[in-house]
Chains A and B, each alone.
Chain A
């Protein structure tokens, strides 16, 4: 019965996922470098300035280049330090940073194996960072393939945003996938192509917008001092996020890299992590 389905759809649409706020706690940070003592400490100092929002009570430790030579040797160091956050950069102990096509084995393994999130910052020697990068975190963007219900991502985004800063909650629907489905629908006589295009596009974007609205309300209620902006659109995923970095002058991008169903990095995370080298990325 079509009417049953119509009303079920109406009620499902009205059933929204509400954001659940929880405080993120970061008491210790491990900065992993492949540098010698002086340069490593200088770099760690820069990171401390960038992460001023974490407060003064955080304990910091820096891993020097001489302490390890491979991912195999790095992992026990991280495990032993048991930090709440690991800060590092791509292509540790190699010169591959000259080519923006990989992460290096240490980061690759670290993001998938280590429990704490990894803050991936621009390489100290590569010179690819934007002018505003590593200054502060007053413009943070959360990135997800499916933002709705991803409370952890938003909680981390909110935590890393400076007081008075702006938290951008982004949801980009993959245009290529959308067009592929629309192309298929256009060949099915029983489905009105125009109606399908309009309503599916609208519904796809409505869910994240509703969720972001809930994030805004809950964060305001929790007294978190920041502005929530929604960036919900359709487009080519990697290029759209690359444009966002420039357009919104982002200081930090927050995204998931772990995927329960696979050992490799989560779908969108790998290309973004490889390509977006001009600003820090927080990899959960």
Chain B
């Protein structure tokens, strides 16, 4: 039996097992990121270094890695073996989008929208929950989950404080945290797993939106209704209370953060244009070849012209930990591919898929959710996308959607499951609200359970 398996592997099974153990160790370390007091980029960077060294010295005289020149556009180019391992398209999208959002935020657009919605609610807690819930979903879809949670969470803390409703802050923040991962499902660029899986599967922006949006709408409504019930968020009872609340939120000035009216409108137009171009990238001649990364970077550059003398401030504010994490992660995954670890996992996944169209697809979704609840969903998405690609999974397969839904919604099971829920918990702690790991799981399980049930049903009924 062992001889047969050895024959199937161009790489010795022992070497594959060693790298598999290394991958498990990486995932474990990422899950224990908080305990290790180490940033993701350093964790994955260490594993990338070790993986590259082991892959160079193990696996025979030539090692496991394809050293030598790389063929780019018919030209042989010398470059380090770990450079082509990185998916620069994904890095470009994240880098460009982050810069674009950071500069656009300076225009005051997002705070303007947030305050206008607060005023539109008239300070009524239930209306406020609906406004903030929908805003969280939309911001998560357009910006990124973490930025959306920061903006909405910060506003929630300030506005509930002003309204004297601090007793509702914990419920609001929890619901918003859970909705960031729902909103993160709305478009192809709303979350990193979407970008990775979407690119691997060849799903276009419009196709992604059309398939995901009905689920996002239904799940948002269900989550807010559940949240209002569980956290006892009700409408104000008397005219006097309503009048008082209206006066309190009237004190918010949506124009306070707008330093230049011209830049505000420029930011507004550019945001609309950015979404339009990103949505139609695959249909735009020429641009479709350059890709979404080019679009994101181009829009970032255009916005940065406004701050041409101080662009370094925006570069400093970039999430370099996240970008370095991606680069390191892609290197590790590339090594794992050469060490046949992904083949090994793929074989396991094939068995799950072989459970049948219904059970297999559902099992992939649930297992992806459980896995991403305890560790970062990005490595999960990257590994599964690679494996599904290697298995020749067609782009219209429901399995891609199982990974997308599972990886995003799994983040709602625990506070460490996604960066945005972690931000929600951070804001809770900042405002001295008790929320332990166990308390979060206990509070979030009913929401996450319903969301995963809806997702499984949706994928099996409409996307299969």
Contacts and interface: CB of A to CB of B under 8 A. Distances in A.
A12 B154 CA distance: 9
B251 A4 contact: no
Nearest to A11: B158
Nearest to B247: A18
Interface residues of A, number: 15
A210 to B, nearest CB: 7
Given A4-B423, A4-B427, A11 B111 contact: yes
A11 B159 contact: yes
B174 to A, nearest CB: 16
A14 B257 contact: yes
Given A11-B115, A18-B247, A3 B150 contact: yes
B155 A11 contact: yes
Interface in B377-397: none
Interface string A1-13: 1011001101111
A16 B251 contact: yes
Nearest to B111: A10
Q: Which of B158, B162, B430 has the most CB of A within 10 A?
A: B158
A14 B157 contact: no
Where chain A touches its partner, the secondary structure class is helix
A15 interface: yes
Nearest to A7: B154
A266 B247 CA distance: 30
A17 interface: yes
Interface string B234-262: 00000000000001001111101100000
B257 A10 contact: yes
A18 B153 CA distance: 24
B111 A7 contact: yes
B204 interface: no
Contact of A14 (B150, B252, B423, B427): B252
A11 B110 CA distance: 11
B151 to A, nearest CB: 5
B280 interface: no
A13 B153 CA distance: 16
A4 B155 contact: no
Interface string A185-219: 00000000000000000000000001000000000
Contacts of B251: 15-18
A208 to B, nearest CB: 15
A14 B115 contact: yes
Contacts of B257: 10, 13-14
A14 B256 contact: yes
13 contacts: A1-B150, A1-B423, A3-B150, A4-B153, A8-B154, A8-B157, A11-B111, A11-B115, A11-B154, A11-B159, A15-B252, A16-B251, A17-B251
Contacts of B56: none
B158 A12 contact: yes
B271 interface: no
B298 interface: no
A8 B253 contact: no
A210 B255 CA distance: 12
B256 A13 contact: yes
Interface in B113-157: 114-115, 147, 150-151, 153-155, 157
B426 interface: yes
Interface in A10-60: 10-18
B248 to A, nearest CB: 9
Q: Which of A7, A13, A16, A210 has the most CB of B within 10 A?
A: A7
A14 B153 contact: no
A208 B247 CA distance: 19
A173 to B, nearest CB: 20
